[in-house]
Amino acid sequence: MKVLICQNHAAAIERTAGLIVDHVARRPDAVLGLATGGTMLPLYERLATLYSEGEVSFANVTSFNLDEYVGIAPAHPASYHSYMKEVLFSHVDIGESRTHLPLGNSPDVQAEAERYEAAIAAAGGLSLQLLGIGQNGHIGFNEPTSSLGSRTRIKTLTESTRTANRQYFGPDETPPAYAITMGVGTILAARECLLLATGRAKAQAVAAMIEGPVSAVCPASALQLHPHATIVLDREASGDL
């Protein structure tokens, strides 16, 4: 596990964007695992700028997002489909047919999870998986006690995750209780993992991930077992190390 502690938030974003650009430069047909969440917003904005400046092309890149809410249609404004289109896909040259997210409103979500896992394998596996971290140590939507060998499946969201994500839903909407998420095992199978965490609120989860025991209580701690995992932090997120 390589841990990069950056001076400030802007430097952490710049460093992470640089690592992704380098990966795609080395491997133009990269298969990127992508993450959502507030942490990723400035990162995707920076990648869009680098694309507009001719520093990177995603024309031959394939992407698979980590997760999607169950029961939410792709067109719903709070879906991860909408998020990705809005903040990244519509600003870069990645072909729509090369972008993949689980279909949260599939009539058979269990079958959809299995189909998604098979689609990742059929694409040759993930060359780089980008990750954020939840305040409870989740990666994707692998909440605490998720099996470290798990594959794409349905997970029940914890109350704290639902509370954290409530802001993205309307005042009259109930935030989803379930998600389809890549498993910890799916994530660990990526050839490289790159986790970005910024801000004081993530410090405790970051310390558990890096310095705690490898345990399903903190699913992100499984990254200690990965041979090519890079963690990019700003000073605040590294505060409990």
**Could you list the residues that contact ligand GLP (CB under 6 A)?**
35-39, 66-67, 132-134, 140-141, 161, 165
143 tagged catalytic: yes
138 tagged catalytic: yes
105 tagged catalytic: no
Catalytic residue among 65, 136, 142, 165: 136
Beta carbons of 147 and 154 less than 8 angstroms apart: no
CB of 132 to ligand GLP, least distance (A): 2
CB of 68 to ligand GLP, least distance (A): 9
What are the structure tokens assigned to 83, written together? 């998020």
Catalytic residue among 23, 65, 67, 112: 67
CB of 226 to ligand GLP, least distance (A): 16
Catalytic residue among 68, 143, 192, 236: 143
The smaller minimum CB distance to ligand GLP, of residues 53 and 159, is found at 159
Q: Is 54 exposed, middle or buried (0-12, 13-18, 19+ CB in 10 A)?
A: exposed
CB of 11 to ligand GLP, least distance (A): 18
The smaller minimum CB distance to ligand GLP, of residues 127 and 161, is found at 161
- For the chain, how far is it from start to end, CA to CA, in angstroms? 14
The smaller minimum CB distance to ligand GLP, of residues 51 and 69, is found at 69
142 tagged catalytic: no
Task: State the angle between helix axes of 9-26 and 40-52 in degrees (0 to 180), rounded to the nearest 10.
Answer: 50
The smaller minimum CB distance to ligand GLP, of residues 201 and 214, is found at 201
Beta carbons of 113 and 138 less than 8 angstroms apart: no
Among 73, 140, 155, 154, residue whose Cα is nearest residue 106: 73
From residue 147, alpha-carbon distances to 77, 88, 130, 157, 185 in Å are: 31, 31, 20, 15, 8
Enumerate the active-site residues. 67, 136, 138, 143
